[in-house]
Amino acid sequence: MRRLVALPLAAIVLSGCTVPNFGANKGATTTSRSVFHLWQGFSIGAVVIGAFVCLLILYAVLRYRRTGDDIPKQTQYHIPLEMTYTVVPILIVFGLFAATLVVENKEVANPKTNVNIDVNAFQWGWKFSYPGSSVVVVGQTTQSPTMVIPVNTDVHINLTSTDVIHGFYVKAFNFSRFALPGVVNQFTFRAVNTGTYFGQCTQLCGLYHSLMYFQVKVVTTSEYAAWLAAHQNSSASQASQTATKQQTSAHVPAKYTPSSGAN
């Protein structure tokens, strides 16, 4: 009896299952938390149903074990019981399907927002552009660029790829999307906590795929506005300096060289 109890407990411990998270991340966005709660519901349902089935098997093994040559009484065509174990699983499946549909609809919804970011993946880095401003953040291999977004605000992402298939993945957001050449994948998320979250490419895309990291920094709305203004002014200043240098070089007179035949 002790072995029967110890075996399932050992399996749970060795699997690294954590309660109540069941191995999943709680989530740092509204949609990721919905996904997390859905995962919790699925896991709890699986545990309850699995335990119930194990108890039925154990009961049958102990209650109807053969102690002699007599065959136990056979029973069939118990209509109420058969209808119960047919209808109940169907209702459970419908319930799981409905819950999944609700969460998936939240995941793919794209509510209107004033915060839009164009994300471009390339070998082997990331480019974050902020439409309506001159702010562009680029980094590759070991540079790990940072995408700054405001907290408690819907952020719309337009995801593209320059060359091959990449994967946009943020663990804390329980979220992943393909970055495809010639295709714009659109999605929206809403971070609920400030902080810096790790992101990476999840599709094998070449030699330096393992270094294709980025960060998502969630700040307050006032900090986001200040950051956007500061980087926009910085970008404008750099553009102005570049234009000034080009104009200066264009107006510098050529050096006079007297002809050899003149007196």
82-97 confidence digits (pLDDT tens): 889 899 999 999 999 9
- Alpha carbon distance 4, 24 (integer Å): 28
Higher pLDDT, residue 247 or 84: 84
Mean pLDDT over 251-256 rounds to 43
Residue 251 pLDDT exceeds 60: no
- Rounded to the nearest angstrom, the gap between the alpha carbon of residue 110 and the centroid of all alpha carbons in its chain is 16
Structure tokens at 144: 């790990």
pLDDT tens-digit readout, 26-70: 888 888 888 888 888 888 888 888 888 889 888 888 877 766 667
- Alpha carbon distance 127, 238 (integer Å): 18
Domain boundaries, the chain: 2-65+76-108, 115-244
20-34, 142-156, 219-233, range with the lowest pLDDT: 20-34
**Does residue 146 contact residue 215 with C-beta atoms inside 8 Å?**
yes
Higher pLDDT, residue 247 or 12: 12
Structure tokens at 10: 């050992």
Residue 232: burial class (beta carbons within 10 Å; 0-12, 13-18, 19+)? middle
Q: Which CATH superfamily is domain 115-244 in?
A: Cupredoxins -  blue copper proteins (2.60.40.420)
